[in-house]
Amino acid sequence: MADQPNFNLDPASRKELEQFIETQQAQSRVQTQVHMLTSMCWDKCVGSISSSFSGKEQSCLANCVDRFLDTSVFLVKKVEDQRAASMGH
């Protein structure tokens, strides 16, 4: 965080602030991914808007959401592993 102004924080507070900012940035990236994948699943699976989804649309959306959840769990674990590794060094 060399480009951030110095607010005369002690090292522990500075570290806590840096971790908070990293967490917020990670959450923003996840929200961006959710938006992108929601749009992608909708475009891929839904043919036209009606009062209900067809069986094919339901199946496609369920599979798309399952793949998204699998990917999200993987990414969260990866971020947690990286954070644990960086805190251990």
Residue of 59, 69, 61 lying closest to 40 (CA atoms): 61
Q: What is the mean pLDDT of residues 27-33?
A: 89
Answer yes or no: is pLDDT of 34 > 60.
Answer: yes
Residue with tokens 């806590």: 16
Encode pLDDT of 57-76 as tens digits.
999 999 998 988 898 889 88
Sequence-separated (6 or more) residues with CB below 8 Å from residue 1: 14, 18, 21
Is the CB of residue 16 less than 8 Å from the CB of residue 1? no
Cα separation of 17 and 11, whole Å? 10
Residue 1's pLDDT is what? Answer: 47
| pTM for the predicted model, two decimal places | 0.53
Q: How many other CB atoms are found less than 10 A from the CB of residue 17?
A: 14
- Express as a percent the part of the chain with pLDDT over 70: 91
